[in-house]
Amino acid sequence: MRTGVKITAFAAALAVTFGTAYGVGRVLDPVIADSAPAPAHDGKHAPAPREGAGHGH
């Protein structure tokens, strides 16, 4: 088999693969988009400042 035919077959298979993935993504995207986004920052993981911290004792 010639190199040009191999490259063309590979490019066609790659285009079909990505086209299928794009089509599946377009079908499933509206289902995922209906969920509420997570809050960016809620501050729950920040530790409370300790009493006397920062005095160098």
Angle, CA 19 vertex, CA 28 and CA 26 arms, to 5°? 20
Q: What is the model's pTM?
A: 0.48
DSSP string covering the chain: --HHHHHHHHHHHHHHHHHHHHHHHHHHHHHHHTSPPPPS--STTSPPPPTTTTS--
pLDDT in tens, 7-27: 999 999 999 999 999 999 888
Kindly state the percentage of the chain with pLDDT values over 70.
54
